[in-house]
Structure 1
Amino acid sequence: MNSENKKFCTNCGKEIPQTAQYCPYCNTKQPSLEPTYLNRSDVRTHQCPRCKNLIPDGVSYCPYCDEPQTRSQSNSNQQQTDQPAKAQTKNTTNHQPRPRKSHFWRNVIVLLVVILLAVIAFFTYQNYHNSQVQSQNQANQAQTGKTTNTKDQDNQSKPQNNIVEIVKSFTQNNKYESGQDAAQAVQKVVDKVPNSEGTNATWDPNAQTVNVNIPASSPIVKSVDSSSPQVWDTAVKALQTISKEISNNSTGNDDYSNIKVVRDDTGQPILQVDKGNVSLNSRTK
């Protein structure tokens, strides 16, 4: 190669064409120089399949466009046979293509960011959904509370009104000639009161009262201390009604309308009604 058209690689120091942009031996990019041309006929060359420039045989990359040369190995072997002395002074080792930069960590970071955004979006939606459900439940509970209060008010009035009508339907204009007659009428009324199982009414001739013995486990007794005394209030209303009916329809000078409700476990009176008037009520005392 003419000394005027040569230069040396800045990395490996080998002689390379002056116009080479990359070293054909170590693939190092070279500083730009004024373009010159190959002018020796004894240098074997071939045409780069990409840029069409003439380049020496035996190089791995085109010094003009960096295109890998597939003919370099065969040309190098032929050059070694024809010119063994010159071939020994040149590096004919095939170079591997320049390694590509790995984007592995960049892809990992992008994937982690996507996952993080997906997690944030999921929990944001979950919190929003839970808040909506909670708001709806609160609204439903408020509506249910209003409905329950209305029903409770209706239930407190309807059973009492119904029991009064029931009592009057089978006791009106009855004649009570003895305390036993009064006790039988009270028993019929008590049987009409909801949850009154196990309750019995008897006449006490000594005290001149109709004693109503009621089990301590009865819902009527439990209703005395509860926050929903509908059952107890219904029983009180029923006994007030029958007491008044007995007072109005007792024969002679005797009055059998004095009714006393007693717990069967303690014998303690929890309600007393006479002539339809309440003189003792455990819930209000």
Structure 2
Amino acid sequence: MENQPLIEQQKVIRQPKTHFKWGKNIALYVMLIPGIVLTLIFSYLPMGGLVIAFQDYKPWLGMLKSNWVQWDHFAMMFLRDDSVQIIWNTLIISSAKLTAGLIIPIVFSLLLNEVRQLFFKKTVQTLVYLPHFLSWVILGGILTDLLSSSGLINSWVEKLNHGKPILFLADGDWFRIIVVISDIWKEFGFATIVFLAALAGVNPSLYEAAEVDGAGRWKQTLNITLPAIAPIIVVVGTLSLGNILNAGFDQIFNLYNPLVYSKGDIIDTFVYRTGIISGGFSFATAVGMFKSVIGFILIALAYWSSGKFANYRIF
């Protein structure tokens, strides 16, 4: 074989191609059936109802007999002051959440990674992750009690502010701040675990070489740690772009009230009130469809960006 040409040797040692056999994986396909059925029923079949966004839908007439109004509801969406305001509210709140939700976990994971006491490190990691499992129904009630005019927080504020309470949940500016802070407190533990996993994969020999060259912890962080986890940061950041129009329905719904509609109302809560409460089914569907289309475009852009800048691809 040593005297054979290189091409002939490659032919000899080349492994035969393996052909995909459906029969050997039939059990896996059967396990997929329940998920596929549920997705079709709850995700794809309801999409047929999007047709009412182009109709003056009347429940007693149904989709087949309701009058067609073409793009009137979409035009109205940009003419009504309240609908334009909720789009801005959604962008402001979600942008603040995404920005703080990326920076704070990175900083916290870098600090926690410096801790050498393993028990303390694991304990803190667990404690910051636990709020992720609490529902906004529970947290909404807790925050309402704490931040009400007679709540625990205002009892302290009154002592420092000459007896004047702060209306945290009745003032639009304060409401936005509370929404962002409470969301970060609840969710940053999950992102912290992702970045800690990335930090665990950094080659220790790089730090040893940096110490030999006289680099301190700060320079090691800037020149080794951050560049090493940069692909994960890019992936998390770009994939978060798809949620730019999701400011958190559960959270807002459990915290807001009519006093903060001007600055706290978002697309999802607006659709709920307009469609379910007020019966404006067609207009609410048009607003929801607008959000879905923009969200799809952003998700596609985020996926393309993560593939280009971080080499992250699912398929």
TM-score over 0.5 (shorter chain): no
The TM-score with structure 2 as length reference comes to: 0.21
Structure with greater helix percent: 2
State the structure with more CA Rg.
Answer: 1
More strand by share: 1
TM-score (norm 1): 0.23
